[in-house]
DNA sequence: TTGTAAGCGTTATCAT
DNA sequence: ATGATAACGCTTACAA
């Protein structure tokens, strides 16, 4: 048995003057076995290998720190174990959270996820789609940009397994995972009405082309009406500070017990009079609530509001981003099981990769309603699971004083 | 010339009963040319091709919607065009921002970045390192987890081109990109001292094993002392609310004109006396400032402070995350040129991939100091580039009232 | 139990 | 200017 690693006279076909990465031939030569045996070892067919050979191969692999070439493997077997993950917005904590689940599931399934940030640009999405075809990705998990994309339509029609994430796309009939938006929106509407809110604002970025936003809006409005409340839908442009201000003004005008809102409302109702606000009134139970279509939408609103509850205004949002836990803003939230969503996306996809031929499946998940102070009818009433609020923003948080 | 696409009698070697993805053989057959010519066309060797052939090939490729198999290409040429991007924390907006630059530069260089979130876990980092070796990635850009990793050391020593991002690692001698931490920290210390701050707090997560934090702390402290100010370093654990509270309490105790801080300071200085605070004093110019080691550290602090400036406390941070622009918190920041950093990481790496053999290079970038209200000596003094602040957090932002 | 040889889709070397 | 043919590193019949 030969032990020299840099040997130049291969017992095999090759000429092997070595400069580069070790191949299976090198391992075979060093171990003094045929490459077939090495291949078998690599593929776990250990039962058909004598312990002696197995040991020699193991040693050789370690000595060379050999790693099988996945490209060559993929070429031969026709499966690269690569899957593409296209995310419309990696800035959104939701995307990263789902990614965590995807990566964990991929690890278990022996898949390699290729994360691609399409940054809400349709041409980036098609570019990555093309690139992934080129690398023979075995499947795709796509959180699509909210615009029609011929490349995506083609993929949906053509052979490559495809799972849509959070959003569906008209004309693409494939597996999908996401929140049960209808149920979550109804749940939230019920919670708000149950707690005495009568005027309900739904705030969202443009939702014409984003299915999840559409579903949330429709269900929230419907349920609110059903329960006798008055819903309004506000479209916000997060890139435009004026738009954010406008939304706050609109909501503020409807908020009765708030100074600014009251002034604004009064001024609006009767611009000439400038009636001073009546000093005392019945206890100011909140009656106006605002529900944001996702965490990214709520953030600028909460910031503009100083990250703390305002008397007379209930705040709620889809998603439960990290900063909500830091802020004692009393913002009620609908937490998505992002990790599970990611895991299930991979499961659905992997089944297709393994050859499953079935009609499109959709897996939806329930949101967890996390009630916080601003949407409770009576702040004084004790309620389990309610987080404490910070009445005055002194330097030292109330919890430590 | 044959035009049937599904034909089963190949003029070539293959048996070609077609079920799967079209290959270069299919294109050759449909176009009625040799595969060599197709390969030449694909590689842009158009000068050695008659226009006639070129046209036929073009048509065939379009008809089949053929895409060359990058795996096979990589196998033959030895270059996969794949590079691995390992990020210690994809939750950090900094990482995503740099990613944008990386992706743009990759597009231009014809590289395919594989984003991997190591989630601050050392074993995930080694796992991905291994996986990327397996896929024969041509190079690596790594924002390393702040812990020694034998796998990374090995890569650094071994052949694969490697560029370190933001952080360097002891014992790994390779190219790196990042902020000029020393210069930025000095710049900030100067700014604060120039504006009358005397007590300076540097707040950071554990920085023993993270080079960038170490550099920032050391330079900030040194420059503060040089300028006659009193620096303190506070280590914070962002996962622990009590730790955040403790930091705020410490800083608050040092903040003279603040009610809570004043009380605390007095009590601390003279526990027995309980001297009431002197009612009137000279105008309360800020004299205590807090600098966060990065945006992630500042976020919970700003939230606890209600996202608005506090009299007597200057706030500043490395990084300039999106939420800073939304908040009118007066937080001064050191904006990193994240896009450029990403682009340069790819440039450095690509040069190595193209065979450059040179000693390790380091490219540093200057931060842009963005001055906001809380760190100005006299709020009244007009200064260009200063953002307006929101004195009272009414529902309607001041800009629109 | 182990080895030989063919071939995955591409490019590179050689003919023509 | 164009095409046959041999690798690239691996898996997989098929032999031995």
- Together in a domain, B86 and B55: no
Q: What is the rounded average pLDDT of the residues A145-155? A: 88
Q: B218 near B180, Cβ under 8 Å?
A: no
Q: Among B23, B127, B135, which would you mutate to test the A interface (most chain A Cβ atoms within 10 Å of its Cβ)?
A: B135
* pLDDT surpassing 70 at residue A22: yes
CB contact under 8 A, A100 and B117: yes
Residues from chain B contacting residue A135 (CB–CB below 8 Å): 70-71, 82, 112
Residues from chain B contacting residue A395 (CB–CB below 8 Å): 248-249, 251-252, 255, 258, 260-261, 305, 310, 313
Q: What is the rounded average pLDDT of the residues B282-286? A: 49
Residue A38 domain flag: yes
Neighbours of B232 (CB within 10 A): 16
* pLDDT surpassing 60 at residue B261: no
CA of A369 vs chain B CAs: smallest distance (Å): 23
Residue A335's SS3 state is: strand
Q: Distance between CA atoms of B353 and B345, rounded to whole angstroms? A: 12
The confidence score (pLDDT) of residue B286 equals 52
C1' of D1 to CA of B37 (Å): 10
Residue A388's SS3 state is: coil
Angle subtended at Cα A105 by Cα A103 and Cα A107, rounded to the nearest 5 degrees? 70
- Together in a domain, B142 and B268: no
pTM over 0.75: yes
- What CATH number does the domain containing B31 carry? 1.10.260.40
Q: A202 near A291, Cβ under 8 Å?
A: yes
Residues from chain A contacting residue B75 (CB–CB below 8 Å): 69, 71-72, 75
Residue A383 domain flag: no
The confidence score (pLDDT) of residue B314 equals 94
* pLDDT surpassing 50 at residue B283: no
Q: Which residue has the higher pLDDT, A372 or B253?
A: A372
Least confident of A227-231, A349-353, B302-306: B302-306
Residue B370 domain flag: no
Neighbours of A108 (CB within 10 A): 12
* pLDDT surpassing 90 at residue A91: yes
Residue B242 domain flag: yes
Helix pair angle (B338-353, B93-109), 10° resolution: 40
Distances (CA, A) of A182 to A97, A219, A221, B194, B328: 22, 5, 10, 56, 35
Partner-chain residue, chosen from B115, B299, B390, that has the shortest CB–CB distance to A326: B299
* pLDDT surpassing 50 at residue A100: yes
- Together in a domain, A112 and A203: no
Indicate the residue among A52, A76, A100 that finishes a domain: A76
Contacts of A331 (CB under 8 A, 6+ apart): A298, A302, A315, A316, A317, A324, A372, A374
Q: B387 near B209, Cβ under 8 Å?
A: no
Length in residues, chain B:
401
- Together in a domain, B227 and B314: yes
Q: Distance between CA atoms of A153 and A393, rounded to whole angstroms? A: 52
Tokens of B204: 């950071």
The confidence score (pLDDT) of residue B159 equals 79
Q: Distance between CA atoms of A333 and B94, rounded to whole angstroms? A: 26
Residue of chain B whose Cα is closest to the Cα of A243: B400
The backbone torsions φ and ψ at residue A314, rounded to the nearest 5 degrees and listed phi first, read -90, 135
Q: B353 near B137, Cβ under 8 Å?
A: no
Q: What tens digit of pLDDT does each residue of B87-99 get?
A: 999 999 999 999 9
- Together in a domain, B85 and B21: no
Distances (CA, A) of A54 to A27, A34, A280, A293: 12, 12, 87, 58
Q: Distance between CA atoms of B34 and A79, rounded to whole angstroms? A: 27
Distances (CA, A) of B371 to A240, B314, B316, B374: 22, 11, 9, 9
Could you identify the residue whose CA is nearest to the C1' atom of nucleotide D13? Answer: A36
- Which residue segment(s) compose the domain that A86 sits in? 81-173+340-365
Residues from chain A contacting residue B100 (CB–CB below 8 Å): 117, 119
Length in residues, chain A:
401
For residue A352, which of A158, A115, A72 has the smallest C-alpha distance? A158
- What CATH number does the domain containing B289 carry? 3.40.50.2300
Report, in ranges, which bases of strand C sit under 7 Å from a protein C-beta.
1-5, 7-13
CB contact under 8 A, A395 and B252: yes
Q: Distance between CA atoms of A143 and B42, rounded to whole angstroms? A: 31
Report, in ranges, which bases of strand D sit under 7 Å from a protein C-beta.
1-5, 7-13
The confidence score (pLDDT) of residue B18 equals 55
Q: What is the rounded average pLDDT of the residues A38-66? A: 91
Q: A374 near A305, Cβ under 8 Å?
A: no
3-state helix, strand, coil in chain B (%, to 5): 45, 15, 40
Residue A19 C-beta-side C-alpha neighbours within 13 Å: 1
The distance of Cα B356 from the centroid of its chain, to the nearest Å, equals 25
CA of A272 vs chain B CAs: smallest distance (Å): 17
The confidence score (pLDDT) of residue B68 equals 96
Q: A265 near A288, Cβ under 8 Å?
A: no
Mean pLDDT of chain A: 85
The confidence score (pLDDT) of residue B113 equals 98
- Together in a domain, A169 and A285: no
CB contact under 8 A, A326 and B305: no
DSSP string, A117-156: E-TT-HHHHHHHHHHHHHTT-SEEEEE--SS--HHHHHHH
* pLDDT surpassing 80 at residue A284: no
pLDDT over 90 percentage in chain A? 69
pLDDT over 70 percentage in chain A? 82
Q: CA dihedral defined by A260, A265, A266, A271, rounded to 10 degrees? A: 110
Q: Among B151, B263, B395, B398, which would you mutate to test the A interface (most chain A Cβ atoms within 10 Å of its Cβ)?
A: B395
- Together in a domain, B46 and B149: no
Residue B121, chain A, CB below 8 Å: the answer is: no
CB contact under 8 A, B75 and A69: yes
Residue A58's SS3 state is: helix
Partner-chain residue, chosen from A21, A74, A396, that has the shortest CB–CB distance to B252: A396
Q: Distance between CA atoms of A1 and A3, rounded to whole angstroms? A: 7
The confidence score (pLDDT) of residue A12 equals 39
Mean pLDDT of chain B: 85
- Together in a domain, A61 and A130: no
Indicate the residue among A76, A110, A130 that finishes a domain: A76
Q: B299 near B287, Cβ under 8 Å?
A: no
CB contact under 8 A, A70 and B310: no
* pLDDT surpassing 50 at residue B177: yes
* Selected residues 133-162 of chain A with any CB under 8 Å from a CB in chain B: 133-136, 154
Among the ranges A272-286, B164-178, B371-385, which has the highest mean pLDDT value? B164-178
CB contact under 8 A, A21 and B251: no
The model's confidence at residue B252, banded by pLDDT at 50, 70 and 90, is: confident
- Together in a domain, B55 and B119: no
The confidence score (pLDDT) of residue B394 equals 40
Neighbouring-strand partners of residue B162: B140
Q: What is the rounded average pLDDT of the residues A193-206? A: 96
Q: Distance between CA atoms of A375 and A298, rounded to whole angstroms? A: 15
Q: What is the rounded average pLDDT of the residues B365-383? A: 78
Residue A27 C-beta-side C-alpha neighbours within 13 Å: 28
Q: What is the rounded average pLDDT of the residues B313-328? A: 92
Residue B397 domain flag: no
CB contact under 8 A, A395 and B326: no
- Together in a domain, A258 and A233: yes
Tokens of B41: 């066309």
Q: Distance between CA atoms of B350 and A112, rounded to whole angstroms? A: 23
CB contact under 8 A, B396 and A323: no
Helix pair angle (B295-304, B241-254), 10° resolution: 70
C1' of D11 to CA of B17 (Å): 21
Q: Distance between CA atoms of A117 and A85, rounded to whole angstroms? A: 8
Strands (DSSP E) contained in A236-330 are: 288-292, 313-318
C1' of C12 to CA of B36 (Å): 10
For residue B185, which of B162, B207, B217 has the smallest C-alpha distance? B217
Contacts of A290 (CB under 8 A, 6+ apart): A201, A203, A251, A301, A313, A314, A315, A316
Tokens of A305: 């509001």
CA of A276 vs chain B CAs: smallest distance (Å): 17
The model's confidence at residue B198, banded by pLDDT at 50, 70 and 90, is: very high
Strands (DSSP E) contained in A244-348 are: 288-292, 313-318, 332-335
Q: B314 near B374, Cβ under 8 Å?
A: yes
Q: CA dihedral defined by B277, B278, B283, B287, rounded to 10 degrees? A: -40
The model's confidence at residue B352, banded by pLDDT at 50, 70 and 90, is: very high
Q: Which residue has the higher pLDDT, B261 or B100?
A: B100
CB contact under 8 A, B91 and A93: yes
Residues from chain A contacting residue B159 (CB–CB below 8 Å): 21
The confidence score (pLDDT) of residue B178 equals 98
Structural domain count of chain A: 3
* Selected residues 366-385 of chain B with any CB under 8 Å from a CB in chain A: none
The backbone torsions φ and ψ at residue A204, rounded to the nearest 5 degrees and listed phi first, read -150, 155
- Together in a domain, A140 and A31: no
Q: What is the rounded average pLDDT of the residues A145-161? A: 87
Q: Is the CB of B75 under 7 A from strand C?
A: yes
CB contact under 8 A, B103 and A117: yes
Instruction: Give the number of A-B residue pairs with CB atoms closer than 8 Å.
Output: 182
Q: What is the rounded average pLDDT of the residues B145-163? A: 88
Q: What tens digit of pLDDT does each residue of A297-338 get?
A: 999 999 988 888 888 899 999 999 999 988 888 999 999 999
- Together in a domain, B221 and B200: yes
Q: CA dihedral defined by A43, A44, A50, A56, rounded to 10 degrees? A: 70
* pLDDT surpassing 70 at residue B277: no
The confidence score (pLDDT) of residue B255 equals 72
Angle subtended at Cα A271 by Cα A265 and Cα A276, rounded to the nearest 5 degrees? 65
The one-character DSSP state at A173 is -
Tokens of A69: 């070439």
Residue A44 domain flag: yes
Burial of A115 (0-12, 13-18, 19+ CB in 10 A): buried
Q: Is the CB of B39 under 7 A from strand C?
A: yes
CB contact under 8 A, B72 and A75: yes
* pLDDT surpassing 70 at residue B378: no
* Strand D protein footprint, C-beta under 7 A: A 13-15, 20-21, 23-25, 35-36, 39-40, 42-43, 68-69, 72-73, 75-77; B 12, 32-37, 40, 48-50, 52-53, 72, 75-76, 78
Residue B388 domain flag: no
Residue A351's SS3 state is: helix
Indicate the residue among B50, B76, B102 that finishes a domain: B76
Residue B196 domain flag: yes
The distance of Cα B285 from the centroid of its chain, to the nearest Å, equals 35
The confidence score (pLDDT) of residue B6 equals 30
For residue A137, which of B280, B114, B340 has the smallest C-alpha distance? B114
Q: What is the rounded average pLDDT of the residues B64-70? A: 95
Residues from chain A contacting residue B261 (CB–CB below 8 Å): 395
Helix pair angle (A338-353, A93-109), 10° resolution: 40
The model's confidence at residue B308, banded by pLDDT at 50, 70 and 90, is: confident
The model's confidence at residue B119, banded by pLDDT at 50, 70 and 90, is: very high
Closest nucleotide (CA of B28 to C1')?
D3
The one-character DSSP state at A339 is H
Q: Distance between CA atoms of B237 and A17, rounded to whole angstroms? A: 54
Q: Which residue has the higher pLDDT, B329 or B249?
A: B249
Residue for token digits 């360097």?
A: B168
In terms of phi and psi (left: phi > 0; alpha: psi -120 to 50; beta: otherwise), the region of B44 is left
């Amino acid at each position: 048995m030969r032990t020299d690693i840099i040997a130049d006279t291969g017992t095999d076909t090759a000429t092997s003057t070595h400069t580069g990465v070790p191949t299976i031939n090198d391992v075979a030569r060093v171990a003094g076995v045929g490459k077939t045996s090495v291949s078998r070892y690599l593929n776990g067919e250990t039962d058909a290998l004598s312990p002696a050979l197995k040991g020699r191969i193991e040693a050789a692999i370690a000595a060379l720190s050999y790693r099988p070439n996945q490209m060559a493997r993929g070429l031969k077997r026709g499966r690269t174990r690569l899957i593409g993950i296209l995310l419309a917005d990696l800035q959104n904590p939701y995307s990263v959270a789902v990614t965590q689940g995807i990566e964990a599931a991929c690890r278990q399934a022996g898949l390699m996820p290729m994360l691609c940030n399409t940054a809400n640009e349709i041409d980036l999405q098609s570019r990555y789609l093309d690139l992934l075809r080129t690398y023979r990705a075995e499947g795709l998990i796509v959180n699509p940009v909210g615009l029609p994309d011929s490349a995506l339509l083609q993929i949906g029609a053509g052979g490559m397994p495809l799972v849509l994430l959070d959003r569906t796309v008209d004309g693409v009939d494939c597996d999908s995972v996401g929140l049960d938006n209808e149920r979550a929106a109804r749940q939230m509407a019920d919670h708000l009405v149950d707690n005495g809110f009568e005027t309900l604002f739904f705030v969202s970025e443009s939702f014409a082309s984003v299915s999840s936003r559409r579903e949330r809006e429709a269900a929230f409005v419907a349920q609110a009406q059903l329960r006798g409340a008055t819903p309004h839908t506000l479209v916000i442009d997060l890139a435009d500070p004026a738009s954010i201000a406008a939304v706050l003004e609109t909501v503020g005008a409807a908020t009765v017990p708030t100074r600014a809102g009251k002034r604004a409302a009064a001024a609006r109702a009767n611009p000439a009079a400038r009636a001073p606000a009546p000093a005392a009134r019945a206890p100011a139970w909140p009656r106006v609530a605002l529900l944001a279509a996702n965490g990214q939408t709520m953030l600028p609103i909460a910031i503009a509001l100083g990250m703390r509850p305002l008397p007379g205004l209930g705040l709620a949002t889809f998603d439960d981003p990290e900063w909500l836990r830091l802020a004692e803003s009393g913002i009620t939230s609908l937490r998505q099981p992002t990790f599970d969503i990611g895991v299930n996306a991979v499961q659905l996809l992997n089944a297709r990769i393994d050859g499953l031929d079935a009609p499109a499946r959709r897996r939806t998940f329930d949101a967890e309603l996390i009630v916080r102070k601003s949407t409770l009818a009576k702040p004084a009433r004790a309620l389990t699971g309610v987080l404490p609020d910070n009445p005055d923003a002194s330097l030292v948080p109330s919890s430590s004083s």
